[in-house]
Chain A
Amino acid sequence: MQIDWLTVAAQIVNFLVLIWLLQRFLYRPITNAMAQRETRIEERLSDAKSQRKDAEEEAEKLRKKREELEEAEQDMLEEARTEANELKQQLEQDVRDEVEQKRKNWQETLEDQRADFMQNMQRKAGHKVLDIAGRLMAEFTSGAIDDQVADGFVAKLTDLDPETCKKMTRAANNADSPALVESATKLDTAARQKITRTLHEEFETDIEVEYWEDEEMLLGVRLSIGEQTVEWSAARHLKRLNRELDTLLESAGPAKRKEATD
């Protein structure tokens, strides 16, 4: 064991110098660099943290907004759907009503047309029958029948009910125009005379009598004095028959048509 105290002193100095040198070149720069790096990293971390916080807040805000929007959208959709449904139902109802109405109308029209057609058919058939009857009468009774017609008319005149007779008498007395006797065919003179005579006798007048032909009458005679008319003719019978036919057809019409007219 040998200690050189000079060397010891020198080594102490050396050591202190080394401490100073290392402090100058090693510890301080290294610790400073590390501290600064740490500070920077911390700053960056806190920056990142605050940015992340901001971003999260922003995200939260956006999320809320989106939820609200979605809710509103849902509401609006629901509302629109309800409205659309209502509208659809209403439109459907309208269309259904319209179709129903049209169908009803169409049915009514159809019924009407059918009824009209039926009635026309019936009417035409009836009329045709009557027409044929009239024509047959006209064809088979031309000429020879005049006397009978005149007789028939005379008989009818004489058999007039007193009321009508009175009316006719009054009309004949007040008439300023001649009495008019119309017949389907031209009456021969004898018949005319017979009728004129009967007329004068029955109505106690000497009114002038004119004789006209009216083919539409088919068969028979019509007497018009002023406004009073006495008629005995096949046409009148036919007319009455036709009227009765019509009445019959009317009453026999379809029930629906009755309702519609109600």
Chain B
Amino acid sequence: MEISPDAWVLYEWQGLRLNATIVFTWGVMALLVLVSWIITARLSEGETVSRWQVMLEVVVTTIRDQIDEVGAADPARYLPFIGTLFLFIATANLLTILPGYQPPTGSLSTTAALAICVLIAVPLFSITRRGLGGYLKSYLQPSPFMLPFNLISELSRTIALAVRLYGNVMSGTVIVGILISVAPFFFPILMQLLGLLTGLIQAYIFAVLAMVYIASASRAQRKTDPAADTETPRTSREGD
């Protein structure tokens, strides 16, 4: 039994292997883009709004509200990144109800890629806000002795992010696989339902954690701003 869809190679050409992870990722991407495109092609700015547009607006607004709740100053800045993380992971996980589908998030390569994206995005957002010097200085906070610990923390949370998502999704798939071989009639369905739930929760956790990291990186800057002293993050979630 395959644990990771990475091993499921669909096409190979001159050493480049096109595995199921990439293919399903493309599928998920295509689905997301198509749905968005179809709906937003007929956007209405007036009073009468189609229910599909309302659905998209609700999704976008909810993500924006969540970003805002974490404490980021400008939700619109982070919306594409955080929103895409959530939508991609959620879609990838929810599609597990389709037979024959292997969630790309069940592959450590995918989750590692996403975690690396977060790892890069955190300093990027921070640098664009406070400049390179300000960002680098944050590693020396509260004292220069903390530099190695700060670095370790940065790395470890990235790895944790990747492994958490991978482990949850993969375990769901594996559990279903095992249950199918043990009790193939009733339990796999329950586990599948549970998998849908955990998949959605994982997407939420991943996106919110990414946002928390980004926000905490820019929060150090806000602490230097006396006007924003009272502003503290309303949520600070860690772990699963």
> Which residues of A are in contact with B by a Cβ distance under 8 Å?
1-12, 14-19, 21-23, 25-27, 29-31, 33-34, 36-37, 40
Contacts and interface: CB of A to CB of B under 8 A. Distances in A.
Interface stretch (B73-81, B123-131, B219-227, B229-237): B73-81
Contacts of A25: 33, 36-37, 40
Contacts of B107: 7
A33 B80 contact: no
A36 B112 contact: no
13 contacts: A2-B6, A4-B6, A5-B109, A7-B6, A7-B109, A18-B84, A19-B84, A25-B33, A25-B40, A26-B32, A26-B56, A27-B79, A27-B83
Contacts of A8: 109-110, 112-113, 116
Contacts of B80: 19, 22-23, 27
B22 A31 contact: no
Contacts of B7: 2
Contact of B108 (A1, A14, A40): A1
Contacts, number: 117
Contacts of A9: 113
Interface string B22-64: 1001100100110011001001111100000100110011000
A19 B121 CA distance: 13
A16 B7 CA distance: 23
A12 B117 contact: yes
B98 interface: no
Nearest to B163: A1
A195 to B, nearest CB: 146
Nearest to B166: A1
Contact of B113 (A2, A12, A37): A12
Contacts of A40: 45-46
B84 A14 contact: no
Given A11-B21, A21-B29, A22-B83, A30 B57 contact: yes
A51 B45 CA distance: 24
Interface string B1-20: 00010110000000011010
B104 interface: yes
B87 interface: yes
B88 interface: yes
Contacts of A17: 29
Nearest to A9: B113
B114 interface: yes
B21 to A, nearest CB: 6
B67 to A, nearest CB: 12
A10 to B, nearest CB: 5
Max chain B C-beta neighbours (<10 A), residue from A14, A26, A27 = A26
Contacts of A12: 113, 116-117
Contact of B45 (A14, A19, A33): A33
Contact of B109 (A3, A21, A33): A3
A6 B117 CA distance: 15
A30 B88 contact: no
Given A17-B29, A22-B36, A37-B45, A11 B84 contact: no
B109 A11 contact: yes
Nearest to A41: B47
Given A3-B112, A7-B113, 17 more contacts: A7-B107, A9-B113, A10-B113, A11-B109, A12-B117, A14-B25, A14-B29, A17-B29, A22-B32, A22-B33, A25-B40, A26-B40, A26-B83, A29-B43, A34-B57, A34-B61, A37-B45
B17 A15 contact: no
A21 B34 CA distance: 10
B92 to A, nearest CB: 11
Contacts of B21: 4, 7, 11
Nearest to B56: A30
A75 B46 CA distance: 55
Given A6-B17, A15-B114, A33-B44, A22 B22 contact: no
Nearest to B37: A25
Contacts of B17: 6
Nearest to B4: A2
A106 B30 CA distance: 123
Contacts of A27: 60, 79-80, 83
